[in-house]
Amino acid sequence: MKLISFILLSILLFFSTAYSKDRSEIETKNKVFPEDWIEFGQFKEINKAPKGLFEDKHKQFTQMSKYSQKRIGTIFVTQKNLMDKYPENLMKGMAYFEFFYMQQLKENKKDIDKYIKNYPNVKNHVRKSVQKIYGLNKARKSMREALGFSLEDDLQEVLLTYVTLSKLFEKGEKITLKLDSDKKKVYKSHKKLTEHISKIKSLVEEKDQQRISEKKFIKEFKKLSKKSKSELNKLNNIENYKIFSSLLDEIETISLENTKLLLSSYKFSDYLLSEIKTKEVSNIYKVDLSNADFSDFKEKELIVLAEASKSSKKNKIIKNNDIQKDIFYLENNNFKINEFINQFSSNSLELSGLNLKLDDLDKMNLWARNDWANAWRNPIPTKIEDKSSGIMIDLSEEDIESLKAQLAMQHFKELFDIEFAKNFENNFQEVVANIDQNSFKFSYGLDDYAKYLGTVFNMDIRNYADLTDLANATHNANWSVEEYASAYQVNVDFINALASGVSSFDAAQVAQNLGASLQDVADTIAAASAAGVSVDLESAAQGLGYDSFASAVEAYNQQHGTNYTTEQAKEALGQ
């Protein structure tokens, strides 16, 4: 998995100038720009698929693509509310999506060629075809990135990962949890609220990239804001939702013209909802892998599972880093985001991924060593012992302050790049310069600490840079530094335990932890699907055998005696 290219791309695109150029009215109407169609790729038949994805009769790409089209229509549209219960279907759906997308490239090739040749003056039907491909490719990209892949990664490796994860979840026991009426209401309202905020975030992103007209943006924005408030009103008896409601009120004071600030605020809001869900929302379904039998997994499949688990953790780190950039940007543009973070923290919402507390740049320029130490949110071990060799280290309060200050400074320098710095004036450079001047005295250095950890865990760690390469210790709030140093052994243990075919308690526990981390990925994709990102309704409806979504609605009405309009049906599906 080419995670490095994904990380670099994420950093380079953050607040980049790629969309800074003013688009003409016709370009905005087109929505799809030259930098977009480069990512579409070229049609290429996929005549090979991992076992278990298709029936034996599906031997050729044409047969595979037709079957895939029906399956994604079922998984992402008609049975979308079952994705929580059956994540294995979602994982297969992501694999089917690759075949479906390639078929769409083939069917729309003439329109894509015309679009590129005549851009920006294109006919309406050509524009619609290319906009559909753009949306589908955006979904394909999101699905891949959720598991650490990019659009450039080998397709067979991507497909094998999706199918192997499906195989994993199939082995889990599906448990329907009994929730009282209040918990069910919270579950439903939170889910709808998350969809609305996700849509607003995408809408603001489109506006920032000049893909939507001002008139349409304002109309959609107001409609989604109203829906968000309606769901929040149903949750007003829970303190964290009250604070979240206050945050949205404050966000609404931001000018709709200031799309960069709006985008950062809604990215943070989206992040907050995932954290609030962990604390306040009870799931209806649970997939229990503790008694799963992994004896039929091949060695390559076990390696895929281990890599997928590792990638999901790394992706979480990347997202947390991006959110910290958004927080920093908000705080330095007169939006007092730290005040809301403090309110959530006071209400026991830990926000553990935010391991660095940053302030206004003018204040940070005056920070002393203890200020930097206080900026590091996570505790560090004060005592480490290797019982086998009798090595022990006790850190004094001064040592702890030194380490925390250095961790904060190191993370600050690693977090922000040159492109991001362009959003600020010289005071940003002054903060960096003050750190580089090494004007602080430290009683105990990160390199010393890293070397010690290398001794304890028998790893070749010469300095802190080595430790960062191995474990990225400054980037995750959930593990201590020494836990990171030993974490990579977990993948080896996982493969060995499951490959042994022994249903030991340790193997079951490792499998359970793996399932939990990958369930987060499944939840992310399911949420994106529900928010209308992952599939084009017209295409999905055609995959079910209908000429259009309107035809599908009409057939449903006849079968069930209802009278839904097309718009009402889309609304019911969260579109």
The pLDDT value recorded for residue 449 is: 67
The pLDDT value recorded for residue 527 is: 56
Query: Tens of pLDDT along 216-231?
Result: 999 999 999 999 999 9
Which amino acid is located at 498 in the chain? L
Q: Report helix, strand or coil for 289.
A: coil
The pLDDT value recorded for residue 169 is: 85
Angle between helices 337-346 and 299-331 (to 10 degrees): 120
Could you give the percent of the chain with pLDDT greater than 90?
34
Q: Report helix, strand or coil for 480.
A: coil
Exposed/middle/buried for residue 364 (C-beta within 10 Å: 0-12, 13-18, 19+): buried
Radius of gyration of the chain from its Cα atoms, rounded to whole angstroms: 25
| Whether the Cβ atoms of residue 529 and residue 140 lie closer than 8 Å to each other | no
Exposed/middle/buried for residue 172 (C-beta within 10 Å: 0-12, 13-18, 19+): buried
| HSE (side-chain half, CA atoms, 13 Å) at 295 | 6
Which amino acid is located at 185 in the chain? K
The pLDDT value recorded for residue 108 is: 93
Q: Report helix, strand or coil for 508.
A: helix
Please, where are the H alpha helices in 252-388? 259-280, 299-331, 337-346, 361-364, 369-375
How far, in Å, CA of 142 to CA of 531, rounded?
A: 13
| Whether the Cβ atoms of residue 462 and residue 451 lie closer than 8 Å to each other | yes
Q: Position of tokens 């996982």?
A: 494
Handedness of CA 522, 523, 525, 529 (dihedral sign): positive
How far, in Å, CA of 101 to CA of 69, rounded?
A: 9
| Whether the Cβ atoms of residue 364 and residue 487 lie closer than 8 Å to each other | no
* pTM, entire model: 0.78
- Residues of the chain below pLDDT 70: 1-21, 379-393, 417-427, 436-439, 443-444, 446, 448-564, 566-575
Using alpha carbons only, give the angle 267, 270, 271 rounded to the nearest 5 degrees: 90
Full DSSP string of 403-459? HHHHHHHHHHHHH--HHHHTTS-HHHHHHHHHHHTT-S--SS-HHHHHHHHHHHTT-
Tokens representing 99 are 């075949």
How far, in Å, CA of 141 to CA of 152, rounded?
A: 10
Please, where are the H alpha helices in 442-548? 446-456, 464-471, 481-499, 505-530, 537-543
The pLDDT value recorded for residue 418 is: 58
Q: Which long-range contacts (CB under 8 A, 24 or more apart) does 292-301 make?
A: 292/168, 292/171, 292/172, 292/508, 292/511, 293/171, 293/503, 294/171, 294/498, 294/501, 294/507, 294/511, 295/501, 297/164, 297/167, 297/498, 297/499, 299/495, 299/499, 300/160, 301/160, 301/164, 301/167
DSSP assignment letter at 39:
G
List the chain domain ranges: 178-282, 302-518
Terminal-residue alpha carbon distance, the chain: 32
The pLDDT value recorded for residue 492 is: 44
DSSP assignment letter at 288:
E
Full DSSP string of 315-336? HHHHHHHHHHHHHHHHHTTT--
| Whether the Cβ atoms of residue 364 and residue 393 lie closer than 8 Å to each other | no
Q: Position of tokens 């404050």?
A: 250
How far, in Å, CA of 214 to CA of 233, rounded?
A: 29
Using alpha carbons only, give the angle 214, 220, 226 rounded to the nearest 5 degrees: 130
Tokens representing 329 are 């940007």
How far, in Å, CA of 573 to CA of 333, rounded?
A: 37
Tokens representing 398 are 């001064």
The pLDDT value recorded for residue 543 is: 47
- b vs e for 448-468, b when ≥16 Cβ sit within 10 Å of the residue's Cβ? bbbbbbbebeebebeebebbb
The pLDDT value recorded for residue 110 is: 96
The pLDDT value recorded for residue 74 is: 81
Query: Tens of pLDDT along 512-533?
Result: 555 555 555 556 565 555 444 4
Please, where are the H alpha helices in 42-175? 61-73, 87-107, 109-118, 124-146, 155-170
